[in-house]
Chains A and B, each alone.
Chain A
Amino acid sequence: GESVGLHLPTLSVQEGDNSIINCAYSNSASDYFIWYKQESGKGPQFIIDIRSNMDKRQGQRVTVLLNKTVKHLSLQIAATQPGDSAVYFCAENIDDYKLSFGAGTTVTVRA
């Protein structure tokens, strides 16, 4: 079956360094992707999105890259801060406004 998945379940980053979180997807028909951040005890929160007609999109301290050739999505966080510690999910729009979520990557920021 087709699914969205993250390469690594955990990532430990030194405060101030850049973080890169990866996601592989297999549905070549997906036209929209979202990154969510989930802090402990809270629901997922939108970080940034990208449509399939784009390769890159930048937000505040975050950049999403989309490589449709290899069906790969990444989230880059610049100058990682303690408040960035959370679980990060990628999601793809699979059909009629339904999202399919990956398993998540837990990011831990070391002081």
Chain B
Amino acid sequence: DADVTQTPRNRITKTGKRIMLECSQTKGHDRMYWYRQDPGLGLRLIYYSFDVKDINKGEISDGYSVSRQAQAKFSLSLESAIPNQTALYFCATSAPPSNEQFFGPGTRLTVL
């Protein structure tokens, strides 16, 4: 079974719609991350959470919000989706003292 799962795997939506992407993990890690991947740009950090009561903005948080519902769950919301938010979205987890991050399979989001 996958340690980090993301739902949905693919989503097509329209401009202005509210979208939620969900991430669950069974690794028992405290730290969770949301990244966005665009062609030629690598992965960019949107938000991260170091425990249930901790939420931090990453380098591209505008237009996004997150919720850490439990240690195992971290969701990403687009309150009003726009076409330039079309991208691959990845969730990741880590556990200090290791810096290694474990990634989910990704969600492909298309905003029309």
Taking Cβ atoms with an 8 Å cutoff, the residues of A that contact B are: 9, 32, 34, 36, 41-46, 49, 89, 93, 97-99, 101-104
Interface size class of B (residues with CB under 8 A): 20 to 34
> Helix, strand, loop or mixed for chain A's interface?
strand
Let me know if B102 and A97 touch, CB within 8 A: no
User: Which residues on the B side are within 8 Å of A93 (C-beta)?
Assistant: 99
Complex partner residue of B101 from A99, A102, A104, CB under 8 angstroms:
A99
- A-B interface contact total, Cβ < 8 Å: 50
Q: Is the interface of B mostly helix, strand, loop or mixed?
A: strand
Question: Assuming A43-B105, A44-B90, is B48 touching A98 (CB within 8 A)?
Answer: yes
Return chain B residues, CB-CB under 8 Å to A45: 103
Q: State whether B106 touches A43 (Cβ < 8 A).
A: yes
Contacts A42-B105, A43-B103, A44-B103; A97 near B40 (Cβ below 8 A): no
Contact call A103/B40, Cβ cutoff below 8 A = yes
Closest partner residue, chain B, to A89 (CB atom): B42
Interface residue ranges of B72-112 to A (CB < 8 Å): 90, 92, 94, 96, 99-106
